[in-house]
Amino acid sequence: MKKTILIIAALMAAFVARADEGMWLLPLLKSLNADVMAAEGCRLTPEQIYSVNQSSLKDAVVIFGRGCTGEIISEEGLLVTNHHCGYSSIQALSTPEHNYLMDGWWARSRAEEIPVPGLDVTFLVSMEDVSDRANAARDQEGGEGLQKFIEELENAASASNPGCEATVESFYSGNVYYLILYKKYDDVRFVGAPPSAVGKFGGDTDNWVWPRHTGDFSMFRVYDKDGKPLKPRRSLEISLKGVRENDFTMILGYPGSTQRYQTAAELETMLASQEVSIACRTIRQDVLKKWMAADPVIRLKYADKYADSSNGWKKWQGEKLSFERIGLLDQKRREEAAFQQWVDADTLRQRKYGSALREISAAASGSTGALCTAYLLFEAPFSIELPQLALQYLRAGMEDGDPGQVLAQYKDYDAAVDKDVARVMLDYYRKHASEAMALDSLGTGYERFADIDIDQYVDYLFAESAFTSREKLEKAAADTTFALQVLDDPAVVLANVMMGKMYGVIPALIMLQYGIPASRTYTAGLLEYYGDRPLYPDANFTMRLTYGKVLPYEPKDGLKYEYYTTLEGVMEKEIPGDMEFDVPSKLKQLYQARDYGRYADKKDGRLHLCFITDNDITGGNSGSPVLDADGRLVGLAFDGSWESMSSDVLFEPELTRCICVDIRYVLFCVDKLGGAGYLLKEMKIKK
């Protein structure tokens, strides 16, 4: 018993020592974080950060699109986020004649700002704890009762708050529930961005790596329902002071997903499924990269698709290496053993939590094969675009949708590229899929997947399908018999076979999405196990605050990285004509003239590009505002350090670093490089 107490005390002490760890819920800042934040250097009260009844910092921070964060930086609805967050929107607006993505572009007036179809931003209105009612509904009527309660509460809240959308989100593995109100705006217009040689400088080579020299930002403007620039409830002030080592920083944003409370068994299942994804994406990305390097038109078409694939691909590899380096699974097992020892020491705890870890382990182990099968299916045959286009076209017809949305996708589609992808992915899938998952019955002569000549089948697929180009599809659709014959199109046949296999892996995907039931019990036990110590919930793309400091770090013996980078580093990395390390001529001219204006650092006179902090972030935080002790904008979060790829599972204070673009470099690029200095006149810039 004495040994158990010592283990628990050590774990608690380790948690408390990590003052900068945590993605904290805003309504709980006053009770959980206010004193620590003040001690760390914050000069704002919790009410100045989050308030329902008056303007606060949270009113300037938005969900940008479907997976990023942005912030409002003027009283005219001007918004800044990362370049990689705006990447898909900018790519969709680009053409070979007007390549905004590669060349960069800035609107010279409001009239030139370009509407972005399908893009929206979402503001947080309020969060209300409804845990007691939600848990009571579940206790009384089970899962169905809980779901009924959630639906009724969401409908009632939406009805009583016109213009808002209500959602109930769970935290701590379903032990806590919040009713969250959001307000969405779908008139968002592209204002400008630097060229990719600035906004994506370093490309995949530098991704997840420090030192970094990337001007990762883009700007948009939010318009209200009347088509006028939005008058926000709050916009951020901008500081030109810059940052120094040990400065307090805080980040508001929407972190997507973490697994801090998952068990070793769950993590082993996750790693196994990631291995499948890494292998498939390696093969597909090699094909895309070959075509993109050979043809600038294809490079533009596939830029966003490649970037979207490679980001996770590189992260998962780094995560695996990081897990091995720190022995993460063994650490988790030791923590679980200490927890189980604590449970076994008390009869009441045994009844409540005694079997939780065993149930989680059994469920995770039993689902590993199914999850790997699901990932193989989605990363291999489902990465072929042709059957996806066919499937979407059929769905649009069945659901009275707009087939034009499918036709529009051909702007960024090349059948020759997709044909190459189809060859390698179908071959890989056949070599690794089980007999039960074989894509049989793909047409006359292609009944048995194991016997198909892949090259011959792919030639047939792309020669005979009506879905290989917009022109071919429009011509076929004009024939009145097309609706009767379309089910025999080889792309439709392939799509239907793939969908049939997908239905077989849905149970595994449901487990992946909703978690193992015993996880709720285990997390409830952890909350009791840690007693009064504050525990933050795993990220789930709800607004969080994290606080920390500007710090250097030492990833290896004898190697110490500074906390900032400068424009000199861009010139040192330059490789003329290279896709990742080319440098725009105008940027070189400004560098040679040392023409940095008021954006130069006051201490050393150089142009600072990026800096690092120990703030706790993850995917979804991209574009989040990095704020100083007074809540002024000093940078934008955009990446994490390679050495801390395990941070979604375990925060390592010595190695976990958030990589940020300095707001002074952002303004320099807008003003000096982009010639759009007029935009700065609407910002609240403080020296």
Residues 207/311, Cβ–Cβ less than 8 Å? yes
Q: What is the mean pLDDT of residues 132-139?
A: 95
Lowest mean per-residue pLDDT among 192-201, 512-521, 645-654: 512-521
CA nearest to 609, candidates 211, 196, 81: 211
Percent of the chain with pLDDT over 70: 95
pLDDT of residue 507: 76
Per-residue pLDDT for 283 more than 80? yes
For the chain, give the mean pLDDT.
93
Tell me the pLDDT tens digit for each residue of 590-605: 999 999 999 999 999 9
What Rg, from alpha-carbon coordinates, does the chain have? 26
Which residue has better confidence, 480 or 176? 176
383 is catalytic: no
Provide the 10 A C-beta neighbour count for residue 120.
16
Percent of the chain with pLDDT over 90: 86
Residues 278/426, Cβ–Cβ less than 8 Å? no
pLDDT of residue 17: 35
Tell me the pLDDT tens digit for each residue of 213-223: 999 999 999 99
Which of 622, 644, 646, 647 is the catalytic position? 622
Query: What is the SS3 string spanning 230-257?
Result: CCCCCCCCEECCCCCCCCEEEEEECCCC
Peptide bond into 211 cis (omega under 30): yes
Structure tokens at 550: 């500007």
Provide the 10 A C-beta neighbour count for residue 456.
11
AA identity, residue 640: G
Which of 56, 59, 74, 84 is the catalytic position? 84
> Which residues partner with 187 through β-bridges?
223
630 is catalytic: no
Q: Domain coordinates of the chain in residue numbers?
A: 23-120+186-208+217-238+536-686, 123-185, 264-514
Per-residue pLDDT for 4 more than 60? no
Per-residue pLDDT for 397 more than 90? no
Tell me the pLDDT tens digit for each residue of 59-68: 999 999 989 9
Per-residue pLDDT for 75 more than 70? yes
Per-residue pLDDT for 304 more than 60? yes
Which residue has better confidence, 401 or 418? 418
Angstrom distance (rounded) from CA 129 to CA 131: 6
pTM above 0.75, yes or no: yes
Query: What is the SS3 string spanning 399-461?
Result: CCCCHHHHHHHHHHCCHHHHHHHHHHHHHHHHHHCCHHHCCCCCCCCCCCHHHCCHHHHHHHH
216 is catalytic: yes
Which of 204, 216, 418, 538 is the catalytic position? 216
Tell me the pLDDT tens digit for each residue of 570-624: 999 999 999 999 999 999 999 999 999 999 999 999 999 999 999 999 999 999 9
pLDDT of residue 261: 92
Q: What is the mean pLDDT of residues 290-297?
A: 96
Q: What counts of helices (H) and strands (E) characterise the chain?
A: 25, 22
Q: What is the mean pLDDT of residues 363-390?
A: 94
Q: What is the mean pLDDT of residues 411-439?
A: 97
With H, G, I as helix, E, B as strand and everything else as coil, classify residue 533.
Answer: coil
pLDDT band, residue 5 (cuts 50/70/90): very low
Q: What is the mean pLDDT of residues 88-100?
A: 96
Distance from chain centroid for Cα 199: 17
Provide the 10 A C-beta neighbour count for residue 469.
14
Angstrom distance (rounded) from CA 34 to CA 13: 19
pLDDT of residue 366: 86
Lowest mean per-residue pLDDT among 189-198, 400-409, 415-424, 627-636: 400-409
Tell me the pLDDT tens digit for each residue of 537-580: 999 999 999 999 999 999 888 999 999 999 999 999 999 999 99
Per-residue pLDDT for 94 more than 60? yes
CA nearest to 295, candidates 471, 104, 96: 96
pLDDT of residue 400: 60
Structure tokens at 82: 């990362």
Tokens 């209200």, located at residue:
224
pLDDT band, residue 632 (cuts 50/70/90): very high
Lowest mean per-residue pLDDT among 395-404, 518-527, 605-614: 395-404
